[in-house]
Amino acid sequence: MMVNTIEAKAGGVATPLGYRAAGVSAGIKANGGLDLALLVSETPATASAVFTVNRAQAAPVLVSREHLERSGGVARAVIVNSGCANACTGEGGLAAAYEMAAETARLAGCAVDQVLVASTGVIGVALPMDRIRAGLPIAFGALGADQGSAAARAIMTTDPSPKEAAVTVDIDGRTVTIGGMAKGSGMIEPMMATMLAFVTTDAAVPRPLLDRALRDAVNDTFNAITVDGECSTNDCVMLLANGASGASVDETTYDRFVHALKTVCLTLALGIVRGGEGATKVMTITVTGASSDEEARRAAKAIANSPLVKTAVHGGDPNWGRLIAVAGRAGVDFELSRAAVMIGSTVLFKDGRPHDEAAPQAAQYLKGRDISLSVNLGAGGASSTVWTCDLSAEYVRINADYRT
C-alpha cells in the first residue's frame, strides 16, 4: 500500500526488501545466549557509517573503515558478535577482525571489502575465532527476512531488551521501507556514536546523499543521547541502501527520506536510553536561550551527564539548584538574571528568583517514568534537546560486577 506519510511498521533491520538476517549462538557468551548476528543484502548496497571518536578504536572499527574506503561505499554483509569487544587486543585482534570479514565474504560469495564487521562486549579479551568459524555457517543457514528480531537479540550485552524499528514512506509513488536494530545500555555517550546500530533501506541512495543523510540523522538522534557520559571503543552506526523498492532518493526527495530515517534512529536511540543500565526514568533535557546551537547542545549534555541531576531525578527531588549550577559551569554563555528552570510544566526558578512554593507539584511529577527538564540560559535564541536516564544504585552494581 502506498503511503503519503511516514508510518510505523512492525519489524526491524530485515524488514526492507532484499535483506535477510540471522542471530545464533556461537558459544562466545558464557551463558550460551545468542551472540552472532548476520545481515545480508541480496544485491550490493550503497553503504555509509559513522564511528566512535575514541582514539582507542577496536579492531572491527579499523577494518570496517578500511573496507568502506576500499569498496567505495559498497556492502553486501555485516557480521556482528557480542560477548567480546575485540578491542585493545593488538595484532591478533586485527587479524581476527579481518578473518571474520573474509569468512563472511566466502560464505556470501562477495568481495571481502564488501563485508563490514562489528563487535561488542568486554574490552581486552581475545576473540574466540574457532567459535566464530563454527558459528558463521550456522548463521548463514538461519538467514531469513523474518529473522531480524533474532539478530537484534544476538547483538545485546547488558541490554534488558532488543531494540528494533521500521517505517514506510512514499518516495515518488513507491513505498520505501527503513528498518534498524541497535544495542547499547551502558558506556553510552555518542560522539559519533556510542553503541552499535544497523539501519537498512530498500531505496536507492547515491553515496554522497547517503553519507549526508546518516550524519543528519545521527546528529539529532544517537548523538543526542547519553546514559553515563562514557564513549566506547567499538561504537558505530551503519546504513545500507540496496534500491530493491525501485525508488530513488535525490535532492527533491532527500528531506522526506531523512525525516523517515530520523524517525527510525530516534526510536532506536530512545530505546537505548530507556534500557540504560539501572535506569528507571527517561529524561528529556531541553536547553533554550543559548547563544548558538552548539552551546545549547553542550549545556544540555552537561546537564544530562550530571550525576547530581540524575540522582535527584531518581530520588524524586525537585532540586532546581543542581540544574542552574550545571548550566553555569557548562562553559557557555549564561545570564543568571534571565535564566529559568522548569521541571515538567512547573517553573521553579525564573529571572533570578526561586519559586520553591511549586516544589511539591514538581516532586509529584518526578514520580513518573518520563521526565522533562527545561533550562533557559538567558543568553540568546538557540536551543537543543537531548535524552538521558536517571542514575540508580543498580547502575553501580552492574558496572562493579561487569567482569567479575
In tens, the pLDDT along 33-85 reads 999 999 999 999 999 999 988 788 899 999 999 999 999 999 999 999 999 99
Residue 259 forms part of a structural domain:
yes
Do the beta carbons of residue 12 and residue 149 sit within 8 Å? yes
Same domain, 251 and 288: no
Number of structural domains the chain divides into: 2
- CATH, residue 142: 3.60.70.12
- Which pLDDT tens digit goes with each residue over 252-263? 999 999 999 999
Instruction: Write out the residue range of the structural domain in which residue 239 sits.
Output: 7-274
Q: What confidence category does residue 195 fall into, taking pLDDT thresholds of 50, 70 and 90?
A: confident
Same domain, 218 and 338: no
Predicted pLDDT of residue 110:
98
CA distances from 385 to 24, 48, 227, 256 (A): 37, 25, 15, 22
Catalytic, 311? Answer no
Same domain, 249 and 367: no
Same domain, 207 and 313: no
Decide which of 331 and 157 is more confident. 331
Predicted pLDDT of residue 192:
35
Q: What confidence category does residue 376 fall into, taking pLDDT thresholds of 50, 70 and 90?
A: very high
- Which pLDDT tens digit goes with each residue over 238-254? 999 999 999 999 999 99
* pTM score, whole prediction: 0.89
Q: What is the mean predicted confidence (pLDDT) over 109-117?
A: 98
The grid coordinates of residue 150 equal 533474532
Q: Pick from 274, 305, 327: which residue ends a domain?
A: 274
DSSP string, 89-156: -HHHHHHHHHHHHHHHHHHHTS-GGGEEEEEES-TT----HHHHHHHHHHHHHH-BTT-HHHHHHHT-
Same domain, 72 and 174: yes
Predicted pLDDT of residue 402:
60
Q: What confidence category does residue 185 fall into, taking pLDDT thresholds of 50, 70 and 90?
A: low
Same domain, 211 and 313: no
Does the pLDDT value for residue 288 go beyond 70? yes
| Rg, Å, the chain Cα set | 22
Residue 75 pairs in a beta bridge with: 45
Lowest mean pLDDT among 1-5, 266-270, 309-313, 399-403: 1-5
Q: Pick from 218, 239, 274: which residue ends a domain?
A: 274
Decide which of 178 and 185 is more confident. 178
Does the pLDDT value for residue 106 go beyond 70? yes
Predicted pLDDT of residue 191:
42
Predicted pLDDT of residue 403:
61
CA distances from 138 to 22, 107, 333 (A): 9, 11, 56
Does the pLDDT value for residue 193 go beyond 50? no
Q: What is the mean predicted confidence (pLDDT) over 76-105?
A: 96
- CATH, residue 300: 3.10.20.340
Q: What is the mean predicted confidence (pLDDT) over 157-172?
A: 92
Q: What confidence category does residue 279 fall into, taking pLDDT thresholds of 50, 70 and 90?
A: confident
Same domain, 236 and 332: no
Strand ranges for 65-186 from DSSP E: 74-82, 115-120, 163-171, 174-183
Residue 139 forms part of a structural domain:
yes
The share of the chain scoring above pLDDT 90, in percent, equals: 81
Catalytic residue, chosen from 177, 194, 201, 253, is 194
* H or E, element range at 265: helix 254-274
Residue 1 forms part of a structural domain:
no
Whose CA is closest to 375, among 327, 326, 338, 341? 341
- Which pLDDT tens digit goes with each residue over 4-26? 589 999 999 999 999 999 999 99
10 Å Cβ neighbour count for 6?
Answer: 18
* Beta strands 236-241 and 353-354, pairing class: unpaired
Do the beta carbons of residue 60 and residue 68 sit within 8 Å? no
Lowest mean pLDDT among 12-26, 170-184, 274-288: 274-288
Predicted pLDDT of residue 276:
76
Predicted pLDDT of residue 138:
98
Q: Pick from 274, 300, 320: which residue ends a domain?
A: 274
